[in-house]
Each structure stands twice: as structure tokens, then as C-alpha cells.
Amino acid sequence: MSAPEGRDRRAIPQRSSRWASRAADLLARARLTPNQLSVGSVLVSVAGAGALLASADAPAGARAALLIVAAVCAPVRLLLNMLDGMLAVEKGLRSPTGELFNEVPDRIADVVFLAAAGYAAGMPALGWTAASLALLTAYVRTLGAAQGVGNFFDGPMAKPRRMWVLVVACLVSPFEPVLGDGRGAALAVGLALISVGSSVTVVVRLQRIASALRGSAGGTP
């Protein structure tokens, strides 16, 4: 059985779509840079986190509106993350600091989104736990690259899935009274799923990296 191999980029099917290519063309013509989009993803995440924080004590109607804002911000963050990579690679707009802007804003975005969701759920410790585990998944992924076996994006709770779980939790939250749940229950469940899934993701990635390292060393334990 051959050793697993890491990748340089996350596999994103939408990257090859016509709309994504056109969007990248428009951004390139507007002379926007990948680094600017990376910073933009943080600003969008901060806006989403602010909406989550404000939803904690808001009345029902305002809370629903704020949660919808947060739910919209999460996929916009993912979209900007995809487009910054397309500008850098497909449009040839790489910069010497590109890797820094590719990684650091993502980590900030994860932390502010997940920590804010914890406060919105009335369970800040759970939010910080999810945020910490999200950081750990990224750290382990970069370990593979640092060891020369590439990035492993494997696992059930990579960045896109974390954000989509959060989107679903935000959209379900306004219906908590109908479902017989208390305020914050949907976000708490979402954060718990992200925490458990991120823990599994860390283990999966470590196993893949270890297997790749053994393969590159000729099977030495």
C-alpha cells in the first residue's frame, strides 16, 4: 500500500466553475490582490462574530436578523478564501508574503467566529474549545508541510465544514422555541459537533502525516 501524499492546495470543486473564474477575472481587473481578499475575509468574520455577540441578549426578532447576518458572513468568508487563492495561483498574483496572509487571517477568522458563537450560546468555554481545536487542526496540517510531505486536508471537520455547521446552527437558532429548546441550544450543539469533529480531524491528519513520513523513510517506524 502506497504512502499517502499531501497537497499544496485544498480541493475545492467550485474553483473550476465558470462563475468562480469570472469572479476572479473581475477581481484581477479591479487590481485587487490576494492579500487584500485575505484581510477582507477577516473583516467579514469580525462582522459575523459581532452579529453573533449582539444576538446573545437581543429580542427574538432582532436576534433572528443578527443570526441571519452571521449565517451569511460564514460562506462569504469561505468565498473570499477561495478567491484569494485563485488570484494568487490562477491569475499569477502571488506575493512574497502570500503564505502569511493565506494562513494568519484564516486562523483569526476561525477564532473570532467560534468564540463569538460560544458567547451567543451562553457557553463561552465551549466556543473557546471549538476555536482552540480548529487552530489545532490547522497546526497539524502545517506540520505535514513543514516535514516535507505536504498539507493533509483530511478529516470530518476541516474549515469549510466548520463554517457550514455554524451556518446551519445560526439558521436553526430562531426556531428553538418551536423545537422546545432553550435559547442557544442550536449553537451549543453546533459547537459541540465542531469540537468533536475537529478532535477526530486532528487524529486523522496526524495518522496520515505519520504514514507519509514512514513511507518517505522506507517504512521505518
pLDDT in tens, 114-124: 999 999 999 99
C-alpha cell at 57: 441578549
Position 92 scores a pLDDT of 84
State the Cα–Cα distance between residues 151 and 153, nearest whole angstrom: 6
**Of 187, 182, 193, 162, the residue nearest 172 (C-alpha):** 187
Model confidence at 102, pLDDT cuts 50, 70, 90, reads confident
**Of 201, 139, 141, the residue nearest 165 (C-alpha):** 201
The average pLDDT across 90-115 equals: 91
Give the pLDDT confidence of 20-75 residue by residue, as tens digits.
899 999 999 999 999 999 999 999 999 999 999 999 999 999 999 999 999 999 99
Q: What is the CA radius of gyration of the chain?
A: 19
CB 161 within 8 A of CB 197: yes
Q: Three-state DSSP class for 218?
A: coil
Beta strands in 1-157 (DSSP E): none
Model confidence at 13, pLDDT cuts 50, 70, 90, reads confident
Handedness of CA 60, 62, 66, 68 (dihedral sign): positive
Give the pLDDT confidence of 156-205 residue by residue, as tens digits.
999 999 999 999 999 999 999 888 878 899 999 999 999 999 999 999 99
